[in-house]
Chains A and B, each alone.
Chain A
Amino acid sequence: MAARVKKAVYPLYQLGGPQLRIFRPNFFMLAVRPGVPQPEDTVQFRVSMEMTKVDIKNYLEKIYNVPVAAVRTRIQYGANNKRDHKNRRVKKPDYKVAYVQLGQGQTFQFPNLFPEKEQDAETRSFDDFRNKYMETEQQRQKGDPRRGGVPDWFGF
């Protein structure tokens, strides 16, 4: 039985009560490349569903030390129309998207995390070996060159 993460229970808030403070937040937040071009000061995040705009602002300011001017959120519905081999519907999970506008005139451009790197000697030799093997295989598969590409199951 896999250990399921229990939904955290917070103390009930009533007027005049103390401000809720969470000491070890387990909320994730990941930066994503925007599908639609965003203004330069806007960063797009996928955040945990329970986070609010205030939560996101505090999270970025306290943990990442990033000045935040404004936050807008929306919940993206994950589609439920794919079917598996037993014709059961497979649901893509829902997620919350946050558009954060940075303060103090900062700008952000999503970087390229997979730049082309020069291959080291090991990968180069492996690629060479693989190419040579493929060439020999294709040469073997080819029929008589005198037939000009016509397959050898034709004729007598």
Chain B
Amino acid sequence: MAAAAAMAALCRRLPGALRLSGARPGPTAAGLPGLTLNLFHKNLAKVEPLHQLKFLHTSLSRKGLEEFFDDPRNWGEKSVKSGDAWNIKHLRGKSSEDLHKLWYVLLKEKNMLLTLEQESKRQLRPMPSPERLKKVEKSMKNIDLVVREREIALRLLQTGHEKPAPGEWRHDFLGRTYWYTYKEWPIPWYLNKKYKKRKFYYLPHVNHFIRLRLEKSLRRRARRQNLEKTRQKVLERKFPHLAVKSQSQ
């Protein structure tokens, strides 16, 4: 019993030891040691780093946990300069490989900024340039959009379907219509108790409320359109010289 336990402990420790001491050779720095790809700071013209990429071989970064923190020269500064967020139009021109790499660059930048934010809260100091976080998040959302567009285009060409998962239009118990996506289950629907409790139909008494909802949406639309028209009229009265000239010969 004791022998078996000892044996089990040994077996558990052995692969761990092998893993720790194991030869996972670090990436050899083949590129120039002095060059660091400054893809974080987007104020550098987006054209510039690409020119550099063409001529020089980029090395894998040797930094480990340092990437959770900013450049040490920026520690203690009141504000750090940074360029604009990546625009969708610029991202659409990049290859998928470039977008993949940019995603990870932005992810590491976001982690760094979140670390800085938390530390500034802890030290009760203002975070230098918090707008960088918003820019990074916007860029990541844009990359996601571009990749999704490309996926949809490919899928349409290959299969003819737009959405990754099949679905259908269904009603809910309040009479609203929505797109239901099929989910993956290990059991069929007639064995799924939670699914059988869901109601994808509505009873006749709900028709009255559907009518009311329809009226409300129509009223809101009419109000919105009237508001826009009145605003337009006010502007035309104030700035008659800027009015859109109707067809006049």
Contacts and interface: CB of A to CB of B under 8 A. Distances in A.
Is B truly associated with A?
Answer: yes
B185 A113 contact: no
A24 interface: yes
Contacts of B107: 25-26, 28, 63
A111 B116 CA distance: 11
B120 A32 contact: no
Interface residues of B, number: 45
A104 interface: yes
A117 B60 contact: no
Contacts of B147: 24
Interface string B121-164: 01101000000000000001001100100000000000000000
Contacts of B108: 63-64
A64 B65 contact: yes
Nearest to B116: A113
A117 B100 contact: no
A133 interface: no
A115 B75 contact: yes
Interface string B184-206: 11100000000000000000000
A46 interface: yes
A32 B184 CA distance: 38
A71 interface: no
Interface in A102-133: 103-104, 106, 108, 111-117, 123
A65 interface: yes
A30 B64 contact: no
A125 B162 CA distance: 62
> What bracket does the count of chain A residues touching chain B fall in?
20 to 34
A29 B107 CA distance: 9
A12 B68 CA distance: 33
A98 interface: no
Given A24-B100, A24-B144, A115 B76 contact: yes
Contacts of B104: 63
A114 B114 contact: no
Contact of B69 (A26, A29, A32, A113): A113
Contacts of B100: 23-24
A87 B62 CA distance: 52
Interface of A: 9, 11-12, 14, 23-26, 28-33, 43, 46, 63-67, 69, 103-104, 106, 108, 111-117, 123
7 contacts: A29-B111, A64-B67, A65-B26, A65-B64, A113-B70, A113-B76, A113-B120
Q: Which 7 A-B pairs have the closest CB atoms?
A: A12-B184, A30-B114, A117-B76, A66-B64, A30-B115, A31-B68, A115-B76
